[in-house]
Structure 1
Amino acid sequence: MNLEEYIASGILDSYAIGAVSDQEVREVNCLSSIYPEIRKELDELMLSTENYALLHSIEPPAGLKDRIMRQLTFEDADETIVRPLPIDRDLSAEATRPYTYKTSWMVAAAAALAVLFFSYFLITQLQTNQKTMASLRESNDSMQLQLKQLRTSQGQTDQILAMLRQPGARTLELRGNEKAPQGDMLVFWNPSTQQVAVEVKSLPALPADKQYQLWSLVDGKPVDAGVFDAGTAVQKMNRSIGKADAFAVTIEKRGGSPTPSMATLLAMSPVA
């Protein structure tokens, strides 16, 4: 999409003064939430339009409404109404002057009221649009955060895939014992690069002060392989494991423990 051509098309100017269709409103709202350039231009136009409306707003003089209503109901007729003249005589300029003055004054007053009402309408529309734009900004910020999280998750997944494509990569499935009968997770391990990652499919949620800890068993001795949380995303461990006869999972205090708590052992699987 050519953003410069779209901005120069004038649709943002029309949007700022409320002269667009419902379809165009939806289009501008959507594009401004996606493209920062369009949103910035629209914000500037909306601010300029609001400043223009406030600068040119007209404060109606005191008693304007009462004077207009008297004129519309032709009160005080003795001061403004034209006296009847004989049919065979032409109306003189002096006789028609009160009527002309009255008509001009009424037109000017009606125009002033129209400008006043339009200014009020425009300011109300601008305030509504500002609230809508604030809501759209919040939605856009939320979408940006979700997008950032997805990109982070995608980056981690790409790292795991790169690790699995290397020669010697292995995938082990660990299923829970009687303490976690529904427990199920995968361990990705590459002895050549000594990288380890886990993917939790199903594990019980833990208190805030607890974490799952992965262990590799080497000649019957447990080696810390890192801690992880019960999530669906692939998590890369921050420990290097070059040798393992089996992998096991226990529940430890947050941050991990130097030795496993065998009473909290949830799963163990040998390396085939």
Structure 2
Amino acid sequence: MNVTEYIESGILESYVMGAVSDQERREVQCLSSIYPEIKAELDQLSEAFEQYALAYSVEPPVSIKTKLLNELDFNEQSEETVVRPLPVDRPFISSFRATWIVAASVGLFLLLFSLFLLSELRTNQKTLASMRESNTKLQGDIQELREEQSQNDQMLALLRQPGTRTIALRGNEKAPDGNMLVFWNRQTHEVAIQVQSLPTLPPDKQYQLWSLVGGKPVDAGVFDPTNGNQLLQRLNRSITQADAFAVTVEKRGGSPSPTLTTLLAMTPVNS
């Protein structure tokens, strides 16, 4: 049972004001004996109702006491007690009763209005908490976008540098739909890649880029087929020379030499 939803349903307020059916009354009594949260909320509402009843109660006029004392005869005229009927001032009683009804109505209205304000306060507190959570998430998203923008700016700066070459690698029969671009700058020796389409790998595998110099492979860095929202991935290797670039599938973290059976693509630099 969701205790919070039950408390916020409003049935406890109706119970305190006596506006529930017998079945609902038994239900509230049973649940309040099982769940301390419901019992505490019920006690709090009962106390609030009592405080409002006391705060807005109307004391009878002082003149009533004087009128009653004047009507009573406390002087003993004989040994027998004379019982006299108490005169009933019907207009006064009707007026007094109407005053009580008005006062009770005002008190009940104020109580209901206070319960309404309490409910609205709880709703506003939940809304505020939700807005704070959304704001925190938004701040995190903004920070992430700023970091991605900074990385993309660095990549664009690399592409704009003189001497940057773009090499298109296309998959062989093992990855017929595989396509990616390699960006290599002969002067700064930086390497970046843009994956357009490559098969997804198991968690323990990664793609590894190789530069071929005089027929010998040189590790150019490992990468994953996707890297979040980043268009380009900068590899952490410095490549001074390259006759061609190739891609293989290796264990996560890379391999010191390529596994030729997993060769997916190879393209000469001057092609």
| TM score, norm. by length of structure 1 | 0.63
Matched residue SS, 1:59: helix
Corresponding residue for 2:119?
124
- In the alignment, structure 1 residue 176 sits paired with structure 2 residue 171: yes
Output one character per residue of 1:132-161: Cα deviation in whole Å (capped at 9) or x when no partner.
334444444443333333322222211111
Give me the CA root mean square deviation.
Answer: 2.5
For residues 114 and 131 of structure 1, what CA distance do their matches in structure 2 show?
A: 26
Output one character per residue of 1:182-227: Cα deviation in whole Å (capped at 9) or x when no partner.
1011111111111111111100011111111111111111111111
Structure 2 residue aligned with 1:200, among 183, 195, 201? 195
For residues 167 and 259 of structure 2, what CA distance do their matches in structure 1 show?
A: 22
Instruction: Output aligned runs, 1:1-20, within 5 Å.
Output: none
Question: Aligned letter for 1:172?
Answer: I
Structure 1 residue aligned with 2:240, among 216, 239, 242? 242
For residues 144 and 48 of structure 2, what CA distance do their matches in structure 1 show?
A: 52
Matched residue SS, 1:98: helix
Question: Aligned letter for 1:115?
Answer: L
Q: Quote the offset at 1:96 in angstroms.
A: 4.4
Q: Quote the offset at 1:57 in angstroms.
A: 9.9
For residues 266 and 146 of structure 1, what CA distance do their matches in structure 2 show?
A: 36
Q: Any conservation in 2 of the 1:58–1:115 contact (CA below 8 Å)?
A: no
Cα gap change, 1:172 to 1:57, in 2 (>3 Å): farther
| TM score, norm. by length of structure 2 | 0.63
Matched residue SS, 2:168: strand
Instruction: Output aligned runs, 1:94-243, within 5 Å.
Output: 96-231=91-226, 233=230, 234-243=232-241
Cα gap change, 1:146 to 1:178, in 2 (>3 Å): farther
What stretches of structure 2 of length at least 5 have no aligned partner? 1-43, 54-88
What stretches of structure 1 of length at least 5 have no aligned partner? 1-54, 65-93
